[in-house]
Amino acid sequence: MPRRFHDQDETLATAGLVKRLLAMLYDGLICIAVLLVVTWLYTLLAAWVIGFDRYLELAEGGHLNTDPLLTSVLFVTLYLFFGYFWTRNGQTLGMQVWRIRVENANGTSISWLQALLRFMMGWASLLTAGLGFLWMLWDKKNETWPDKFSESRIVQVPKT
């Protein structure tokens, strides 16, 4: 069941690009820490499964430099990180600091599918040198590609 953040008839202002980018910077630092921990756990588990000596041989030989399983685990970890916060209270930790929130047009929390669409289009936006985020500067509704693709929006949360 979606969580309602405010009355349906209440309209909150769209968050600006600078606040979005600053929240992304904060979240990026948190994500680095999360990915370091997950990589460490993955390495311990992989070494335990195939043997520590064999794992050391593979690492020293450079055979672990491109591990598609680790890459997949890290990608899914990032999605779960963002999806959890976006679907639960609409805000990651960085978004809380800058008082912005992702929500549906009716003021409810987004679904896991919307979070997935938003996450994937966020990567596409980054991989095009940020064009998907800069798009809001020319868009009449001030929407980025992730906003459009996931049918959600980032709003400025009023002070309580």
pLDDT given for residue 48 in this prediction? 95
Pick from 68, 70, 66, 91: which is nearest to 155 by CA? 91
d(CA 153, CA 150): 8
Pick from 66, 95, 76, 83: which is nearest to 35 by CA? 76
Domain that holds residue 63: 17-156
Number of domains present in the structure of the chain: 1
User: What mean pLDDT is predicted for residues 99-110?
Assistant: 95
Asked if residue 12 is part of any domain, the answer here is no
Tell me the per-residue pLDDT of 37-79, one tens digit each, with 9 for 90 and over.
999 999 999 999 999 999 999 888 888 888 899 999 999 999 9
Asked if residue 7 is part of any domain, the answer here is no
Asked if residue 1 is part of any domain, the answer here is no
Checking if the pLDDT of 11 tops 80, the result is yes
Asked if residue 150 is part of any domain, the answer here is yes
Asked if residue 30 is part of any domain, the answer here is yes
Asked if residue 4 is part of any domain, the answer here is no
